[in-house]
């Protein structure tokens, strides 16, 4: 049976059910690789805390978008972040090209066993998070019937939504313990920095830049940086807010373990209509229940058994961190 396990618990002979990448973001092992002792040592050295595996002969999972397109998107985002850190100019063309490839490659119709989450090392988290938020946002945009122009705006804005974080010290982003108020000030600044960066990029639309600016705003005015409320938050940013929280919750971070998919959706439903857009949360919830019913079934079985569960539903954490993610 396919499941996500702590890397230390995986034994040689297990079949990898996800692609994994090295420090440079290059594909290291393809999904379907039979793991050896050497593979497992290498993955632990890279910092992988958990991995998706399946039994030999079991149907492989598929990503929401083809793994090769996903890997290309990571390379594009990594190159842009590195250029921005170095103070070099970069062009929007490669971003638009990869966004169009993602739009073309996402089929929202459930088929087969869909892989919702991906495992990441701490070093590649920021890049991988931006790409996965983009994939999920485009999926939601398609399900909502938004136009291709709107999808492109959403894709460009979400794939670069956290570009303002590239200047934050990694010691703050990856701090295991609580942040000080001064450290939170750095975190709260990143939407402003991201907006200012994107507004200076030729060809980047105002609405795409607004996604970077508004993705931490909340409907009740409790968000940042401007404490916007309700309809003052653009739909594109409201979509980004939901999938940003979902991806952060389902990712291992130094300061908390990943929530299972079902647990993350519980958090989103609890905040639906108060902090997060109810329509967007509902669209995502319905799609997940159709595309990945096993994660909800496993969660229910684990609760009835009074155990932590297995598979994607078996890696829980406290819900309290859900709406203050650093990534």
* Reduced 3-state DSSP string for 247-272: HHHCCCECCECCCCHHHHHHHHHHHE
pLDDT interval class at 197 (50, 70, 90): very high
What is the residue extent of each domain of the chain? 1-60, 63-314
pLDDT at position 304 is 58
Query: Which residue(s) pair with 16 in the sheet?
Result: 53
pLDDT tens for 203-261 read 999 999 999 999 999 999 999 999 999 999 999 999 999 999 999 999 988 888 889 89
The pLDDT tens digits for 106-130 are 988 866 678 888 878 888 899 999 9
Please state the rounded mean pLDDT for residues 182-209.
97
| pLDDT single digits (tens) 272-290 | 999 999 999 999 999 999 9
CA dihedral 41, 43, 44, 48 (to 10 degrees): -160
What is the per-residue pLDDT for 316? 35
The confidence score (pLDDT) of residue 121 equals 82
Q: Is the pLDDT of residue 155 over 90?
A: yes
Superfamily (CATH) of domain 1-60:
Molybdopterin biosynthesis moea protein, domain 2 (3.90.105.10)
Per the structure block, which two tokens stand in for 16?
A: 């990898």
Annotation: CATH topology of 63-314: Hypothetical protein af1432 (1.10.3210)
Residue 42 phi/psi, 5-degree rounding, is -65, -40
pLDDT at residue 325, as a whole number: 56
Confidence of residue 307 (pLDDT cuts 50, 70, 90): very low
- Asked if the model's pLDDT at residue 299 lies above 70, the reply is no
* Model confidence pLDDT, tens digit, residues 27-81: 889 889 999 999 999 998 888 888 889 888 888 888 899 988 999 999 999 999 9
83 vs 47, more confident: 83
pLDDT band for position 172 (cuts 50, 70, 90):
very high
Instruction: Assign 34 to helix, strand or coil.
Output: strand
Reference 211, options 121, 316, 123, 130; nearest CA is 130
Backbone phi, psi, residue 111, to 5°: -155, 125
Token readout for 302 is: 């684990």
DSSP letters spanning 70-81: HHHHHHHHHHHH
d(CA 133, CA 155) in angstroms, rounded, equals 9
What is the Cα–Cα distance from 147 to 164, expressed in whole angstroms? 27
- Give the tokens for residue 108: 């929202």
Q: 270: exposed, middle or buried (C-beta count within 10 Å: 0-12, 13-18, 19+)?
A: middle
- Residue of 165, 175, 229, 275 marked catalytic: 165
The predicted structure's pLDDT at residue 311: 38
What is the residue-averaged pLDDT of the chain?
88
> ω before 225 within 30° of 0 (cis)?
yes
Q: What is the pLDDT of residue 159?
A: 99
Cα–Cα distance, 133 to 241 (Å, whole number): 9
Nearest one of 293, 154, 106 to 285, comparing CA atoms: 293
Higher pLDDT, residue 158 or 323: 158
Half-sphere exposure (CA, 13 Å, Cβ side) for 162?
26
pLDDT number for residue 11: 92
Residue predicted with more confidence, 303 or 84: 84
Note if 142 is an active site residue: no
Alpha helices, DSSP H only, in the chain? Answer: 37-46, 67-85, 93-105, 125-143, 148-159, 170-173, 181-199, 206-214, 235-249, 261-271, 278-291, 293-305
Q: Which of 223, 240, 253 is nearest to 315 (CA)?
A: 253
């Amino acid at each position: 049976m396919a499941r996500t396990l702590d890397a230390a618990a995986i034994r040689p002979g297990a079949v990898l059910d996800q692609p994994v990448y090295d420090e440079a973001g290059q594909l290291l092992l393809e999904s379907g690789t039979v793991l050896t002792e050497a593979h497992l040592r290498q993955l632990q050295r890279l910092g992988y805390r958990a991995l998706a595996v399946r039994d030999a002969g079991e149907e492989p999972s598929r990503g929401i978008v083809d793994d090769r397109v996903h890997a290309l998107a990571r390379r594009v985002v990594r190159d842009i972040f590195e250029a921005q850190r170095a103070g070099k100019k970069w062009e929007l063309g490669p971003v638009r090209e990869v966004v169009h490839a993602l739009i073309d490659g996402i089929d929202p119709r459930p088929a087969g066993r869909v892989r919702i989450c991906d495992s990441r090392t701490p070093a590649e988290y920021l890049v991988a998070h931006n790409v996965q938020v983009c994939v999920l946002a485009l999926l939601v945009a398609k399900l909502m019937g938004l136009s291709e122009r709107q999808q492109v705006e959403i894709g460009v804005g979400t794939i670069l939504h956290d570009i303002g974080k590239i200047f934050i010290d990694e010691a703050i982003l990856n701090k295991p313990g609580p942040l000080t108020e001064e450290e939170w000030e750095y975190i709260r600044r990143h939407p402003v920095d991201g907006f200012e960066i994107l507004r200076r990029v030729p060809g980047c639309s105002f609405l795409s830049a607004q996604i970077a600016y508004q993705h931490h705003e909340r409907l009740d005015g409790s968000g940042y940086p401007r404490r916007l409320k309700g309809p003052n938050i653009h739909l594109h940013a409201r979509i980004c807010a939901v999938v940003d929280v979902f991806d952060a919750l389902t990712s291992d971070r130094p300061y908390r373990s990943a929530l299972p998919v079902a647990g993350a959706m519980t958090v989103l439903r609890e905040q639906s209509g108060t902090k997060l857009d109810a329509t967007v949360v509902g669209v995502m919830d319905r799609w997940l229940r159709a595309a990945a019913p096993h994660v909800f079934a496993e969660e229910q079985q684990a609760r009835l058994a009074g155990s932590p569960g297995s598979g994607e539903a078996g890696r829980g954490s406290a819900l309290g961190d859900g709406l203050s993610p650093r990534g």
